Amino acid sequence: MMNEEYEMKVPGEEFKEKVLDIYPPKLAKRRARQILVNKVGENDEVPQILANTRTAPGIMTMRGCAYAGCKGVVLGPTRDILQITHGPIGCGFYSWLTRRNKTRPETLDDVNYMPYTLSTDLQEDEIVFGGEKKLMAAIDEAVALFHPRAIGIFATCPVGLIGDDVHAVARQAEAKYPDINIFGFSCEGYKGVSQSAGHHVANNKVFTDVVGLLDKPKDGKFRVNILGEYNIGGDAFELERVIKDCGLTLHSTFSGNSTYDEFCSAHTADLNTVMCHRSINYLAEMMELKYGIPWFKVNFVGADASAKSLRKIAAFFEDEELIARTEKVIEAEMKEVIKVRDEVKARCQGKTALLFVGGSRAHHYQEILKEIGVDTIAAGYEFAHRDDYEGRKVMPTITVDADSRNIEELTVTPDETRFNPRISDEEKAKREAAGFEFSDYRGMMPEMPDKTLVLDDCNHYELEQLIEYYHPDLVCAGIKEKYVVQKAGIPMKQLHSYDYMGPFAGFKGAINFYREIDRLLNSNAFKFTKAPWDKSPELVATYGYNE
Ligand code: CFM
């Protein structure tokens, strides 16, 4: 007799049932809305996912905190804004370059604060009696040592809990040092459910206190900003090279290899291209409203995606010479890419991967893996919102809850003197009708095959279950996952810091990535690993929880 139940079940559904089984009923019900078997409709409709909500206490989440999203992610890669962490020393120390965001000052005399980490090193005394004085003293000390032009102050959890006001201290400090732009970020770790809240806090402050301070455009006919590119492992260096070759001027990168002046004058560029929409779509949107700069989504992970993005930028400017030059660059770069790709693909074709990364890479890296024949069978974001999964078009239908209401939504109006729409509404509408997409992104799920598994805020228990169930050839995630995966005998690539490698963006980056994945997939090293649980018995327990 046929086992009907078995015959009917899609593997993803079966996995989901199995994994939810261990949770208490209430949590299982919630997780059931965060673990989905993908299904894409004709117009990109996908199942609705529950995202950007609190992780259940006790779960070993892969997420980080709002402070990490603000200080570590968005502001961290600028080299000449002096950044002071107001809090215990650990917060500053662990946000100090572990993400491998690089920078390259133009001359040896140029300011670079990135090799330093500055913290107020809060102690019990300040937790009891307040830390504002210590913060002011830290600013005095930093000014005397470094003479910076701009200082950012970042609040951590305890600072918020005891009620220190980083903004008030910033104002006092500015009165004392009128030549220095001093601004605070309310990015206490608990401010939101993940890093994502910190991105938004950072975007708001950079927009109100930095962008627009310097009306000085860079030279060049086609001036482009890249938003959401953080120069991990040198990604921005590779993009700078290619963009220059095409004949474009890179005005400002937010924030890989960037400077304060580039932020201040970013509003003078002709176009905003958005790489990681999750972390910075707010700034793109606000700059369009205030200054009239249009934006669209690009992706420089993968050689084909890079070529597509460059073509889109060239098409935007409608300049024959630029278009021809861009095509030439793509043609020249793709020669080596295709050579390596073919060689690597022959060895990697048909392998499978699981991808769990922040808020855009779990999507972007599926494309580059596909280029060498590696299929992503399950993927998820740590902290993305529904639009990152389902497409920007669902944004108006996203419910705002108490946690997201925590973050200020700025009301932005056109700048009285500097609002200058780079293209008129009619022109924009005309181009959109012809298929050119502005202010949009498609989301991860519409680009994943049916029956693949999508998990929001995947945790360590679920990752272990996934490995056991799917036996993937490769897992891509972060440092907290790395050693568990390797102990299971599976190669693991960190897609946050790239471990020790990079760049992975652009054409040369794609070649680096193909080669790295080839080495990981086709070396037997991890199969020889004996995990501790293979050597000694594992303790098993069940929740003593009853509804
Ligand atoms: Fe954007 Fe990022 Fe990402 Fe992100 Fe990040 Fe990162 Fe990331 Mo780690 S900004 S959302 S908060 S692409 S640090 S460079 S790798 S989780 S997927």
| pLDDT tens digits along 43-72 | 999 999 999 999 999 998 999 999 999 999
- Check if 71 has its Cβ closer than 6 Å to any atom of ligand 1: no
Q: Which residues contact 372 (CB under 8 A, 6 or more apart)?
A: 341, 344, 345, 348, 349, 514, 517, 518
- Check if 100 has its Cβ closer than 6 Å to any atom of ligand 1: no
Per-residue confidence (pLDDT) for residue 538, from 0 to 100: 75
H or E segment to which residue 129 belongs = helix 124-129
Per-residue confidence (pLDDT) for residue 5, from 0 to 100: 47
Nearest atom within ligand 1 for CA of residue 478: 8
Per-residue confidence (pLDDT) for residue 7, from 0 to 100: 52
Q: Say yes or no to pLDDT of 2 above 70.
A: no
- Check if 455 has its Cβ closer than 6 Å to any atom of ligand 1: no
Ligand 1 pocket mutation, candidates 70, 71, 73, criterion most atoms within 8 A of CB: 73
Assign residue 506 a region (left: φ > 0; alpha: ψ between -120 and 50; beta: otherwise).
left
- The string of pLDDT tens digits covering residues 239-256 is 999 999 999 999 999 999
Ligand 1 pocket mutation, candidates 276, 366, 480, criterion most atoms within 8 A of CB: 276
Q: Say yes or no to pLDDT of 152 above 50.
A: yes
Both tokens of 518, joined, read 């080839």
How far CA 69 is from CA of 29, 278, 295, 357, 520, in Å, comes to 29, 11, 22, 14, 30
Percent of all residues in the chain with a pLDDT value above 70, rounded to a whole number: 98
CA dist 398 and 402 (Å) reads 13
Phi, psi of 231 (to 5 degrees): 60, 40
Strand order, beta sheet including 453-455: 35-37, 453-455, 375-381, 352-357, 474-477, 492-494
Both tokens of 363, joined, read 């999507």
Cα–ligand 1 centroid distance for 361 (angstroms) = 7
Which protein residue's CA is at the shortest distance from atom 14 of ligand 1?
Answer: 230
- Check if 508 has its Cβ closer than 6 Å to any atom of ligand 1: no
Nearest atom within ligand 1 for CA of residue 74: 9
Residue 317: count other Cβ atoms within 10 Å of its Cβ. 18
Cα–ligand 1 centroid distance for 362 (angstroms) = 10
Cα–ligand 1 centroid distance for 211 (angstroms) = 22
147-156, 266-275, 300-309, 402-411: the lowest-pLDDT one: 402-411
- Check if 279 has its Cβ closer than 6 Å to any atom of ligand 1: yes
Active site residue 303: no
DSSP one-letter string for 422-466: SS-HHHHHHHHHTT---S----SGGGSPTT-EEETT-BHHHHHHH
CA angle (462 as vertex; 39, 481 as ends), nearest 5: 115
- The string of pLDDT tens digits covering residues 467-481 is 999 999 999 999 999
Residue type, 448: M
Q: Say yes or no to pLDDT of 138 above 50.
A: yes
Q: Can you tell me whether residue 82 is helix, strand or coil?
A: strand
Out of 79, 86, 100, 199, pick the active-site residue: 199
Per-residue confidence (pLDDT) for residue 533, from 0 to 100: 76
Out of 51, 65, 91, 138, pick the active-site residue: 65
Q: Say yes or no to pLDDT of 547 above 70.
A: no
Nearest atom within ligand 1 for CA of residue 357: 17
Count of positions (residues) in the chain: 547
Residue 60: count other Cβ atoms within 10 Å of its Cβ. 13
479-487 vs 460-470: helix axis angle to the nearest 10? 40
- The string of pLDDT tens digits covering residues 286-326 is 999 999 999 999 999 999 999 999 999 999 999 999 999 99
Active site residue 199: yes
Nearest atom within ligand 1 for CA of residue 362: 17
- Check if 329 has its Cβ closer than 6 Å to any atom of ligand 1: no
b/e map of 422-461 (b: 16 or more CB within 10 Å)? bbeeeebeebeeeeeeebbbebbbbbbeeebbbbbbbbee
- Check if 281 has its Cβ closer than 6 Å to any atom of ligand 1: no
Cα–ligand 1 centroid distance for 503 (angstroms) = 15
Q: Which residues contact 198 (CB under 8 A, 6 or more apart)?
A: 65, 66, 67, 68, 69, 70, 71, 72, 73, 74, 187, 191, 192
Cα–ligand 1 centroid distance for 299 (angstroms) = 14
Out of 31, 99, 200, 385, pick the active-site residue: 99
Phi, psi of 475 (to 5 degrees): -125, 135
Out of 51, 66, 68, 173, pick the active-site residue: 68
- Check if 360 has its Cβ closer than 6 Å to any atom of ligand 1: yes
Which protein residue's CA is at the shortest distance from atom 9 of ligand 1?
Answer: 279
Per-residue confidence (pLDDT) for residue 1, from 0 to 100: 41
CA dist 513 and 372 (Å) reads 10
Active site residue 251: no
Phi, psi of 85 (to 5 degrees): -85, 120
How far CA 30 is from CA of 35, 84, 207, in Å, comes to 9, 38, 36
Beta-bridged to residue 85, according to DSSP, are: 119, 154
Cα–ligand 1 centroid distance for 358 (angstroms) = 5
3-state percent breakdown (helix, strand, coil) of the chain, nearest 5: 45, 15, 40
- Check if 502 has its Cβ closer than 6 Å to any atom of ligand 1: no
Residue type, 272: N
Which protein residue's CA is at the shortest distance from atom 5 of ligand 1?
Answer: 358
Q: Say yes or no to pLDDT of 8 above 70.
A: no
| Mean pLDDT score of the chain | 95
CA dist 251 and 268 (Å) reads 9
Residue 483: count other Cβ atoms within 10 Å of its Cβ. 11
* 128, 131, 133, 134: CA torsion to nearest 10: 120
Ligand 1 pocket mutation, candidates 199, 496, 498, 499, criterion most atoms within 8 A of CB: 496
CA dist 67 and 247 (Å) reads 37
Strand order, beta sheet including 150-155: 118-119, 82-86, 150-155, 181-185
Nearest atom within ligand 1 for CA of residue 384: 10
75-79, 168-172, 458-462, 533-537: the lowest-pLDDT one: 533-537
Which protein residue's CA is at the shortest distance from atom 8 of ligand 1?
Answer: 496
Which protein residue's CA is at the shortest distance from atom 17 of ligand 1?
Answer: 358
- Check if 87 has its Cβ closer than 6 Å to any atom of ligand 1: no
CA dist 529 and 485 (Å) reads 11
Residue pair 133/169 in contact (Cβ under 8 Å)? The answer is: no
Per-residue confidence (pLDDT) for residue 546, from 0 to 100: 61
Cα–ligand 1 centroid distance for 256 (angstroms) = 12
- Check if 230 has its Cβ closer than 6 Å to any atom of ligand 1: yes
CA dist 509 and 487 (Å) reads 28
Residue 47: count other Cβ atoms within 10 Å of its Cβ. 15
Q: Among 474, 542, 456, which residue's Cα sits nearest to residue 513?
A: 474
Q: What is the pTM of this model?
A: 0.95
